[in-house]
C-alpha cells in the first residue's frame, strides 16, 4: 500500500473576509540571531556585537527584522491552513515597528482583508493583514501579505482533499 500526501490547507473559496488565524508563540534566541546572520550574511553589529549594542537606542542586541518576518511565515505554515494549497507568496508590504530582542516570544496574527479570484492562475489572491506581536502584545512588525491560493474548482470539477 502506498501512502499519498493529503493537503491540510484551505482552498481559495474557503477564505472569507474577516477570517483570522493566530499562531502559537516562539521565543527568539541568541542562536536564532547568530544562525540568521550566518545564513543571510548580515553581521551588522546591532545584531552580533553585545558591547556595540549597549550604546544604541535599544541598549542590547536585537533580532534582524527579516528574521522576525521569516519566523512569522513559519509559524503561519505550522497552522496548516496553507499546507499544500498555497501556490505562491506574491508580495508583501511590511513595516518594522519595534525591535525583537533576545528572549522575546513572538506570535503572528493574519486576518483576511480581501480576496480576488484569478481563475487563469488556478485560484485566487488572498490578502492578509498580518502582525507580529511580542509577549506583551506589542506590535513588532505589521503589513499585508498577498498569497495566491489554489482553487477547489478546477476546470468545472470540484477537487476533494487528496485529489
Which pLDDT score is estimated for 159? Answer: 55
Neighbours of 58 (CB within 10 A): 13
CATH of segment(s) 12-154: 3.10.129.10
| pLDDT by 10-residue block (mean), the chain, 163 residues | 83 97 98 98 97 97 98 96 95 98 98 96 97 98 98 66 47
Which pLDDT score is estimated for 2? Answer: 80
User: Do the strands 123-133 and 105-118 form a parallel or antiparallel pair, or are they unpaired?
Assistant: antiparallel
Asked if 72 and 79 count as a contact pair (C-beta separation under 8 A), the reply is no
Q: For the chain, which residues make up each domain, given as ranges?
A: 12-154
Which pLDDT score is estimated for 162? Answer: 47
In sequence order, what are the beta bridge partners of 107? Answer: 133
DSSP summary character for residue 62: B
Which pLDDT score is estimated for 32? Answer: 98
Amino acid at each position: 500500500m502506498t501512502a499519498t500526501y493529503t493537503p491540510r490547507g484551505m482552498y481559495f473559496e474557503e477564505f472569507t473576509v474577516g477570517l483570522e488565524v493566530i499562531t502559537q508563540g516562539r521565543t527568539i534566541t541568541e542562536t536564532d540571531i547568530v544562525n540568521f546572520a550566518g545564513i543571510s550574511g548580515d553581521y551588522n553589529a546591532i545584531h552580533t556585537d553585545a558591547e556595540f549594542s549597549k550604546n544604541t537606542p535599544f541598549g542590547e542586541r536585537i533580532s534582524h527584522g527579516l528574521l522576525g518576518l521569516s519566523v512569522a511565515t513559519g509559524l503561519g505554515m505550522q497552522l496548516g491552513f496553507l499546507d499544500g494549497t498555497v501556490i505562491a507568496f506574491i508580495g508583501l508590504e511590511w513595516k518594522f515597528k519595534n525591535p525583537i530582542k533576545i528572549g522575546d516570544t513572538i506570535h503572528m496574527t493574519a486576518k483576511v482583508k480581501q480576496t480576488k479570484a484569478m481563475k487563469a492562475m488556478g485560484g485566487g489572491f488572498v490578502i492578509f493583514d498580518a502582525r507580529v506581536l511580542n509577549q506583551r502584545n506589542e506590535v513588532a512588525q505589521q503589513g499585508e501579505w498577498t498569497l495566491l491560493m489554489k482553487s477547489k474548482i478546477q476546470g468545472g470539477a470540484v477537487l476533494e482533499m487528496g485529489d
